[in-house]
Amino acid sequence: MRICFLNPFGTPDYDAIITQTLAPSLRSDTDVEVRHLENAPRNIDYYVPKHLVEIEILKAVLAAEGDGFDAFVIGCCYDPALTQARELATIPVIGPLEAAVLLARPFGHRFSVLTDHHKAVPEIEDRVRLYGLEANCRSVRSIDWFINDMIGDPASVARDVHTRSREILTNDRSEVIVLGCTIVAACYEQTVLRGAADLADLAIVNPNVIAVKLAELFADLHAAGQYRISRSGYYQQHGQHNQAEAAEILALLGHADARGFER
């Protein structure tokens, strides 16, 4: 099984930490290739760069499908371009936040999301509401780190995650913390893997691991002919409505095969 985990940032700076922290959780037959974007902003902390990145994500999912990957993970908890990528691609596409909040309930009755900084809070709140889980989400909080700073001091990020998580579990009456940033999650996971067992005593859900495990599941379903995504409404493909228009859009994405909107 081959899964593409896309870091949707215009830098390779985060590739190694994602690769290292996913490896212990993979099945023996799963190969995860971590990629990043080339012609994109270095981060998507703000909405304008996020919008620019989403176009590049669509190009990346087409490339991953062409390269024979069995599933595709968009490695950011904004789940950027998730709906569009599912409309576009045939292979399963997974968003870490959607995966983690949907699967939080087996870990506990109510959850809170802990994201990176204040700017991300309303975006995550909106996505939780979009996913229909607002009733079970006690809060969305942040640790006030920006992505450029995290990679220089992962251990401090992990300590802040643990301290803030304990506060939230007590004050917001949550039972589970869903980490709402893939790089926050990688920093936390790396620190735990390096021996900080004292940080692993809380119900903290890593969206990177959950997303990849869900990608494994959906890749299995796809191989068995059981990934029967509906193309009648929300994920209907453009080519089903107008093949010529679909071809024009694919050309704008630098992809010549108009059938990519009709599979």
CATH code of residue 137: 3.40.50.12500
Residues 37 and 52 in one domain: yes
- 83-92, 100-109, 207-216, 249-258, range with the lowest pLDDT: 249-258
Give the percent of the chain with pLDDT over 90.
96
Rounded mean pLDDT of 137-164? 97
pLDDT digit string, tens, across residues 182-233? 999 999 999 999 999 999 999 999 999 999 999 999 999 999 999 999 999 9
Specify whether 38 is located in the same domain as 11: yes
Residues 113 and 179 reside in one and the same domain: yes
pLDDT of residue 241: 96
Residues 129 and 187 in one domain: yes
What rounded mean pLDDT belongs to the chain? 95
Same-domain status, 196 and 133: yes
pLDDT tens string 80-97: 999 999 999 999 999 999
Tokens 């176009």 locate to 55
Q: What's the pLDDT band for 7 if we cut at 50, 70, 90?
A: very high
Domain finish residue from 206, 227, 242: 206
The residue out of 166, 189, 206 marking a domain boundary is 206
pLDDT value of residue 255: 80
Annotate the chain with three-state secondary structure. CEEEEEECCCCCCCHHHHHHHHHHHCCCCCEEEEEECCCCCCCCCCHHHHHHHHHHHHHHHHHHHHCCCCEEEECCCCCCCHHHHHHHCCCCEECHHHHHHHCCHHHCCCEEEEECCCCHHHHHHHHHHHCCCHHHEEEEEECCCCHHHHCCCHHHHHHHHHHHHHHHHHHCCCCEEEECCHHHHHHHHHHHHCCCHHHCCCCEECHHHHHHHHHHHHHHHHHCCCCCCCCCCCCCCHHHHCHHHHHHHHHHCCCCCHHHHCC
Q: What is the mean pLDDT of residues 149-162?
A: 97
- Asked which of 206, 223, 253 is the last residue of a domain, the reply is 206
Count the domains in the chain. 2
Residues 127 and 100: beta-carbon distance below 8 Å: no
Same domain, 172 and 233: no
Residue range 58-79: average pLDDT?
98
Domain encompassing residue 185: 107-206
